[in-house]
């Protein structure tokens, strides 16, 4: 079962799925392991494992700082791959995806990076700085490996552009809820509803909405408009304030449990 089919199957049981995000090595792989365990036990559907990069251009200050501190502590791509193999084997009920920037995959060797991801049980990639026009080899190799290449819609995307982008991607579409970087709160208003309606018309792929989702109210307002809520910065802030043990109750609250 590929990622799209897996998510569509889950949507028969839940009105909105949850995807969470963490930066590998921040504050440590040991804490990452504890956080993932709580996320998995709380019913998270997908987890983005971000391989740290020195210039994470789509990320706001909280995730930028996490990237910088993980790199300063010495995290390497090989460490991230080994950790991802461990958690993918330990929590098979979760769809794990690598989120990173293209330079990481390019420097590793694109074909080898994709092959390794497939071997360790990853389900796909989120690479926000690689437009489909420049990602032909990445898209081809991902498809050949059975992995999803996640594409992005933004509020400034035209209807035609959305259709073009959706035809290149697989798994789901990441709908950026607003202009700017991650972390700032997103108002779920009529403007967002209209944007998501345009997204829905452009593709049959599930729609994931990110950039500022932080509460049960945010998630509930997506019901009927999108298929998956993405929670990133809010979880990182929570771990910084209260530790890994706070993650489980938070995730369950987002799901209304």
Q: Among the options 9, 34, 45, 59, which is catalytic?
A: 59
Question: What letter does residue 170 receive in the DSSP assignment?
Answer: -
Active site residue 48: yes
Phi and psi for 51 in degrees, rounded to 5? -80, 120
> What whole-number distance in Å separates Cα of residue 11 and Cα of residue 229?
12
> What whole-number distance in Å separates Cα of residue 243 and Cα of residue 31?
8
Q: How many CA atoms lie within 13 A of 146 on its CB side?
A: 9
Helix, strand, or coil (residue 56): coil
Q: Among the options 9, 34, 45, 48, which is catalytic?
A: 48
Angle, helix 247-254 to helix 29-41, in steps of 10 degrees: 40
**Residue-wise over 125-136: b if at least 16 C-beta within 10 A, else e?**
bbbbebebeebe
| Helices vs strands, H then E, count in the chain | 12, 8
Show which residues are catalytic.
48, 59
């Amino acid at each position: 079962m590929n990622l799209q089919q897996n998510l569509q199957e889950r949507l028969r049981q839940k009105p909105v799925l949850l995807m969470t995000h963490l930066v590998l090595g921040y504050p440590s792989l040991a804490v990452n392991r504890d956080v993932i365990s709580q996320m998995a036990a709380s019913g998270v559907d997908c987890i983005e494992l971000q391989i740290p990069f020195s210039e994470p251009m789509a990320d706001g200050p909280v995730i930028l700082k996490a990237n910088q501190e993980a790199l300063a502590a010495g995290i390497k791509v090989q460490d991230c791959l080994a950790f991802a193999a461990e958690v993918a084997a330990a929590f098979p009920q979760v769809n794990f995806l690598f989120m990173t920037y293209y330079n990481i995959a390019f420097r590793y060797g694109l074909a080898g990076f994709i092959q390794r991801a497939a071997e360790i049980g990853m389900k796909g990639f989120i690479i926000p700085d690689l437009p489909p026009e420049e990602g032909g080899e990445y898209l081809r190799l991902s498809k050949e490996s059975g992995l999803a290449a996640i594409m992005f819609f933004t509020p400034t995307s035209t209807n035609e552009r959305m259709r073009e982008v959706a035809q290149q991607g697989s798994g789901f579409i990441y709908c950026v809820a607003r202009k700017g970087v991650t972390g700032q709160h997103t108002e779920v208003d009529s403007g967002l509803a209209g944007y998501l309606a345009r997204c829905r018309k452009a593709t049959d792929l599930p729609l994931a909405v990110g950039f500022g989702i932080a509460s049960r109210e945010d998630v509930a307002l997506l019901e009927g408009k999108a298929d998956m809520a993405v929670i990133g910065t809010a979880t990182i802030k929570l771990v910084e304030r209260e530790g890994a043990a706070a993650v489980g109750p938070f995730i369950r609250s987002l799901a209304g449990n």
